[in-house]
Amino acid sequence: MVGSLLAGVTGWVGFRGWQARAHLVNAAGLAGELSAHLVGGDTDRAQRTLAALQVQSGAARQATADPGWWTAQHTPYAGANLAAVRQISIAVDDLARQAFPALLRVDLGGLVPREGRLDLTGLRGVGDELVEVDAIIQRVRTELSTVPADRLVGQVREALQELRAEIDRLATMTSAAGKATRLLPPLLGVDGTRRYLLVSQNSAELRSTGGMFGAYAVIRADKGRIEMGDQGASSGMGMFATPLKVPAEQRVLWGELPGMYPADVNLSPHFPTAAALYREMYRRHSGDTVDGVLAVDPVVLSYLLQATGPVRVPGGVSLSAENAVRTLLSDTYQKMAPKEQDTFFAAAAATVFDTLFTRNTHPNGLLSAFSRSIQERRILFWSAHPEEQRVFDESRMAGTLPEQDTVPTVGVFLNDGSGAKLGYYLRQAADLTVGDCHADGRRELHLRVTLRSTAPASGLTESVLGLAQAGDPYTVRTLVSVYGPAGGAVLDTRLDGTETSVGNGTERRRQVATVNVETGPGDTRTLQVSLLTGKTDSGTAELWLTPTATPWTTHVVTAPSCTQ
């Protein structure tokens, strides 16, 4: 009798499991469609897709809710997997019925400027709705984090990891948006005029945070109205014979350079230090004090131009999403005299942002461009007001090099050592493999970085070739700094299979190894680095990379946790 009952339950659970899986697969596809409709601003299709998603998520939840499933959850081996599927079904259904409908009600238009002004009153209303959405998503995230993954079969474990990753991304976005709605009113002058430096990072001459700080423009914000002011170039500030104070750890790595030259403030990837140095240099040069620094690169401009459409910049040049990066990082150096280049860069960035502030553009496209840029660390912001900066510190936009890791993180940061504008021609790849567990709780990581030069062997102008510090003016010299996980170590370093000399140091509880890599036209160089994490049980790892003119090719190979 008991055997027949168990067999019946097993068969029933298997059938219900097949049903739940089908509904969850359908729900995953519909969730992707819903995201696309939201970004595209197609509210009607988003509503229809949401209704279909709720049908599938509700069916998956119901399929895992009967007494037979509950009983099977408490059996050895299969029980953990069935309990995980149940929790996945609940999480997807809660998102579909609570978070997504609230997200659809949010008026995204309140998050972007109209005719040069942001409606600060409307922004508060958007903020209230986003707080509601964020609370739901954070609750679902917390509940899903309690599901143990150690004993799950491959398919269930992968589904759980993928859902956690998606909810993490969603939670990051809603949390950041909620913070933005609280911070934007003071940032945009609700209590008095604010002024910021908008800095263009020149990816043709690489620095750790993205590129050399080149052209800048002053942004003035008052009661939500945004205007562009004076423009200039870092080169106009000259050199500071008495260096500004640089953190001791950075001095070991880079000497006094970050405190002497505006173009070198961001040799370190820790953006708050770079921004504070640049602000002080601007103050000493101009006599004016600003409230913060906003850094962008030409790729950000290309994303924004996808939303705004092409703009015409001084000199009659039309910038579009398709040609912005090539125009700003290559064509300009081939066609313009050096004195004209910085002026053009400043004018281009100012024109795109002025268009953003004044042209009525659909908010979904703009928010998608901003979201992508922030995710890729191409938009960085630092506030000189400590209470505001503390709120930003946890976001990617802050560019803060953390002193602790949630997941072991390896940084690969590039600084040009050529004194040239050859970064446009670099192509980069990084592979990170999680290795063996050590008895002391640490874990091995193996990093492989590949740099390839697409630069021609002749025909470039002196503006591109610059100081040619590698000797051959067409050879790209790149200082590759590998930052180990927080509390970890950098071990063996090899260049093209041979042990190589490195510059060593530490920054913010991370060991740093810097290698000089010289890459001739058409050549490929490979850097291999062995690392140790701090104490961790994680089988995953993350990469933090310098944003470049063309995307990195990356691959992270995970492993089971050390307790599995």
Q: Of the given ranges (2-16, 26-40, 57-71, 372-386), which has the lowest mean pLDDT?
A: 2-16
Give 111's pLDDT tier (boundaries 50, 70, 90).
Answer: low
Supply the pLDDT for residue 152: 64
pLDDT of the residue at 72: 66
- Check whether 110 has a pLDDT greater than 70: no
Phi-psi region of 309 (alpha: psi -120 to 50; beta: other; left: phi over 0): left
For strands 317-319 and 542-545, give the pairing.
unpaired
Residues 6 or more apart in contact with residue 544 via CB below 8 angstroms: 269, 377, 409, 410, 411, 412, 483
| CB-CB neighbours of 404 under 10 Å | 11
In this chain, the answer to whether the domains covering 194-391 and 403-557 adopt an identical fold is no
Task: Show Cβ contacts of residue 377 under 8 Å, excluding neighbours closer than 6 positions.
Answer: 209, 210, 396, 399, 544, 547
CATH level 2 (architecture), domain 194-391: 3-Layer(aba) Sandwich (3.40)
pLDDT winner (highest mean) among 90-94, 349-353, 543-547: 543-547
Q: Is the pLDDT of residue 119 over 50?
A: yes
Tell me the C-alpha distance between 265 and 243, whole Å: 11
User: What SS3 class is residue 303?
Assistant: helix
DSSP 185: H
CB atoms within 10 A of CB 390: 11
Q: Is 99 left (phi over 0), alpha (psi -120 to 50) or beta?
A: alpha
Residue (of 352, 484, 489, 348) closest to 411 by Cα position: 484
Domain ranges of the chain: 2-185, 194-391, 403-557
Distance CA 561, CA 564 (A): 6
User: Which of the residue ranges 71-75, 89-93, 141-145, 238-242 has the most confident prediction, judged by mean pLDDT?
Assistant: 238-242
CA geometry: angle 380, 476, 293, nearest 5 deg: 15
Query: Apex CA 297: angle with CA 296 and CA 299, to 5°?
Result: 125
All residues at 6 or more sequence positions from 50 whose CB lies less than 8 Å from its CB, including other chains = 34, 96, 100, 101, 104
CA dist 181 to 42, 83, 119, 131, 361, Å?
A: 23, 38, 11, 10, 19
Q: Which CATH class is domain 403-557?
A: mainly beta
Which residues in 99-233 belong to E strands, given as ranges?
194-202, 212-222, 225-233
Query: Average of pLDDT values for 154-172?
Result: 73
Reduced to 3 states (helix: H, G, I; strand: E, B; else coil), residue 547 is: coil
pTM of the model: 0.83
Half-sphere exposure of 462 (CA within 13 A, CB side): 3
pLDDT at 547 over 90: yes
Written as six digits, the tokens of 126 are: 């958007």
Where does the pLDDT of residue 5 fall: very low under 50, low under 70, confident under 90, or very high at 90 and above? very low
What is the residue type of 254?
W
